[in-house]
Amino acid sequence: MNPVIELPPARPAERLVEIVVPVYNEEHVLEASVRRLHGYLSGTFPYGFRITVADNASTDGTWPVAQRLAATLPKVHAVHLDAKGRGRALRKVWGESDADVVAYMDVDLSTRLEGFLPLVAPLLSGHSDLAIGSRLARSAAVVRGPKREFISRSYNLLLRTTLAARFSDAQCGFKAGRTEIVQALLPAVEDNAWFFDTELLLLAERTGLRIHEVPVDWVDDPDSRVNVAQTALDDLRGMARVARKILRGEFGRGGVPRRRIAAAALPTGMGRQIPSFAIIGVVSTAAQLVLYTLLRLVMPPLAANAVSLVVTTIGNTAANRRFTFGVTGPAGAVRHQLQGGVTFLVGLALSTGGLALLHLLAPGSAQIVELATLVTANALATLVRFLLLRNWVFTSRKETA
């Protein structure tokens, strides 16, 4: 009788995943986080891995700590950059990587590491091109304060309503991509800071690439170095820049790879109208935020909101009349403005109600939270506004290509 030979369990073919940890002045947490990540991957991850600490011109002892970790832990590397910017760090390391898949994590490891294999597995199999962790998926488990929760949801809602984004969470610091795909996208991504992630994802969607989302367990880091107000303003500027490029037909052109997928046909004319409406909406939102901020110096919040919304609604209706729906000349202009006033009432109800609710639930909220409330209200009103303009106000022009 032949003896039974027990074979060792089959291991996946050796593939390499490079995980970048961008850091700026993180001396206090860097060593513990990298050792924790290294220990987890060494013990459970079935593929080859490399951890690269990318120091963004830190002014504390972060770089010496990174060098020490690279010298003492196998599969840990360190890269130093002379300028700040998370996007700059990812561009540098991802652009030079020889791994099959590149990824990044925030140094605080707010996302539970059990989500990492589900994040990269569809990329290693070739099923998907990019992968993101989502804190906004229904099955995600998230612990964070109401202010950051509100701002995050507002930002992602604004992306979906103005730039037609289909991914749910642009800002979670837990992302990965197939290296050849990422390296093809990088030259078309302009931002080098916090908007880098969003621009990369918008570009991927615009070119038909497949984005895999993983619900994550995430706990907020109370010691975060992120300047929320400055980041929000930078993100709005980035959105406006991308919207302008979409309107000019320049976003997603060039040597970016494309998946050959079937796409549902849009109603006649909508393919041209949506980009125009989006850029006008972004400009209107930015204009209202600026005007609101100035008026708040002399008015209470509800009055400042009403006045700023009236002014920008008139401009929004006129711009959409001319550029989105191709209506020129004085005929019907007054009627169009009166009908456009309905969108003002919708926006006023949503934003006034939002501000009133904010001050009821959180009296004395900071002005950045007020601004985020307005962004959310405008985002909710955007879809209604487009449908009303297309199907009621300018209905006779909606069939134009």
Category of 135 on φ-ψ map: left (φ > 0), alpha (ψ -120 to 50) or beta: alpha
CB 19 within 8 A of CB 52: yes
Q: In whole angstroms, how large is the CA radius of gyration of the chain?
A: 24
What is the b/e burial string over 176-211, where b = at least 16 CB atoms within 10 angstroms of the residue's CB?
bbbbebbbbbbebbebbbbbbbbbbbbbbbbbebbb
At 138, the amino acid letter reads R
Tally the residues of the chain. 401
Residue 56, strand partner residues:
81
* Token duo for residue 248: 């000019």
* Token duo for residue 10: 């089959």
CB 165 within 8 A of CB 203: no
Question: What are the residue numbers of the active site?
Answer: 197
